[in-house]
Amino acid sequence: MAKQIQAIRGMKDILPQQTPLWQFLEDRVRSVLSRYGYAEIRMPIVEMTELFKRSIGEVTDIVEKEMYTFADRNGDSLTLRPEGTAGCVRAGLENGLIFNQTQRLWYQGPMFRHERPQKGRYRQFHQIGVETFGLTGPDIDLELILITARIWRELGLKDLELQLNTLGTSEERRHYRDHLVDYLRQRFDELDEDSRRRLESNPLRILDSKNPQLAAVIKDAPSLMEHLEEQSLRHFDRLRQGLDEAGVDYTINPRLVRGLDYYSRTVFEWVTDSLGAQGTVCAGGRYDGLVEQLGGRPTPAVGFAMGLERLVAMLESRDLQEQLATPDVYLVMMGDRASREGVLLAERLRNGLPWLRLIGHCGGGTFKNQLKKADRSRADFALILGEDEVARKEIGLKPLRGKGEQQQVALAQLEARLEEVIIRG
């Protein structure tokens, strides 16, 4: 036998028994977003490398060491997208969606980062991202957070905490940065190699380090909040007030930073303890500087992205998977005539009961064999159609999960009977 080829490390197949959970997640999110008036945009998965260098920034983990970059046949440097915001802004500018208007957009799809694979961290992973353009006030920040809170509610996810911070404007951050660098210089010995390098180029990012060795330095660092001016503080207060009024709990985490210059004011993350180390399922914030950085006119923008693998992992801990994946009925058909009539009956049922999940047996075989397949499909009921049943215009309805005896049902009454016995979760 020829040697089998394996998938690329850190890139996973999503298998048929898992896709019902993914679809459940994606459907619920899509539904919430459309009810808030957000429109889907679909961008290419590959972009010019320059786009990510300019938007994410040269001195970041993503650009320094995580991008899948290659030369195409023309020698252009291309990159598999590591995130969606850059491409969304690029597409918005290129298609005239951003200048002088407001937009509420979302997208979904795979992202690629060459990270060390571990639970909750993959090299191909999936996000649903939301971006808004043209809105400056805290009201849109609030709307985005309310959307995320509603998504968790409608998914039935409970163990999530909202962490909130404000980064002020880039000017306010410049002042703060000087204080921070002074402080970090004093504790230079405690910094790791990455942080020492970033001390000059991107010191705020040091606060975002995941290295436990840096925890103490980070904890004692001066606070950005104390360097904010009136307007930024008011923006933050209004957002907090809105969250309080809407009954959304949050904690303020002054260590929640984005090292990138285009971020401003609001940043937030939803985190959980239930997933171990990779506990952030959704991260967002305001990035008023990015559109200009990518060649557009100054445009306020705010958005978030959620990591679908981590959300699916949270959903997996419930017994949802089985409930979503199972058919209602499996149709067993014995003999030629029943097989032909059975196909038509199945079509009739699908017409009359559009919600019905029905698998029709294919491939013939003995009664015992077909019933075994019905059982394995995890259907709640088998419908049994043999020559006798066809002749008498009836069908057997057999509960497969220990709920009573087989009954004979008149074909004319079958839709009504199925509606009675199948209680939908």
Residue 121 or 177: the one with the smaller Cβ distance to ligand ATP is 121
127 is known to lie in a ligand binding site: yes
Residue 173 CB, shortest distance to ligand ATP, in Å, is 18
DSSP 353: -
263 is known to lie in a ligand binding site: yes
Does 113 engage in binding with ligand ATP (CB under 6 A)? yes
Residue 184 or 281: the one with the smaller Cβ distance to ligand ATP is 281
Instruction: Enter the tokens of residue 67.
Output: 């991008």
| Position with the least CB separation from ligand ATP | 307
Residue 14 CB, shortest distance to ligand ATP, in Å, is 13
* Order of strands across the sheet that contains 103-112: 39-40, 103-112, 124-133, 301-307, 280-286, 264-271, 161-166, 251-252
84 is known to lie in a ligand binding site: yes
Q: State which of positions 263-322 bind ligand ATP (CB under 6 A).
A: 278, 280-283, 305, 307, 309-310
Does 121 engage in binding with ligand ATP (CB under 6 A)? yes
Binding segment toward ligand ATP, per CB under 6 A, in 39-47, 101-109, 112-120, 162-170? 112-120
> What angle, 0 to 180 degrees and rounded to 10, lies between the N-to-C axes of helices 19-35 and 138-155?
140
Does 125 engage in binding with ligand ATP (CB under 6 A)? yes
Residue 275 or 371: the one with the smaller Cβ distance to ligand ATP is 275
Does 83 engage in binding with ligand ATP (CB under 6 A)? yes
Does 160 engage in binding with ligand ATP (CB under 6 A)? no
Q: How many CB atoms lie within 10 A of CB 324?
A: 15
Residue 243 or 283: the one with the smaller Cβ distance to ligand ATP is 283
Token pair 């001195």 is found at: 59
Instruction: Enter the tokens of residue 329.
Output: 């009925």
Q: Are 186 and 222 in contact (CB under 8 A)?
A: no
Q: How many CB atoms lie within 10 A of CB 117?
A: 14
| Cα–Cα distance, 110 to 61 (Å, whole number) | 19
Residue 128 or 224: the one with the smaller Cβ distance to ligand ATP is 128
Residue 405: exposed, middle, or buried by beta-carbon count in 10 A (0-12, 13-18, 19+)? exposed
Does 115 engage in binding with ligand ATP (CB under 6 A)? yes
Binding segment toward ligand ATP, per CB under 6 A, in 120-128, 171-179, 312-320, 323-331? 120-128
Residue 127 CB, shortest distance to ligand ATP, in Å, is 5
- Interface with ligand ATP (CB under 6 A), residue from 127, 148, 163, 264: 127
| Cα–Cα distance, 149 to 297 (Å, whole number) | 32
Q: Are 125 and 110 in contact (CB under 8 A)?
A: yes
Instruction: Enter the tokens of residue 353.
Output: 């009961």
Q: State which of positions 87-106 bind ligand ATP (CB under 6 A).
A: none
Residue 21 or 418: the one with the smaller Cβ distance to ligand ATP is 21
| Cα–Cα distance, 308 to 157 (Å, whole number) | 13
Q: Which residues of 233-250 are buried (b: 16+ CB within 10 A; e: fewer)?
A: eebbeebbebbeeeebeb
- Residues flagged as binding site for L-histidine: 83-85, 113, 127, 131, 258, 262-263
- Binding residues (CB under 6 A) for ligand ATP: these are 83, 113, 115, 120-122, 125, 127, 278, 280-283, 305, 307, 309-310
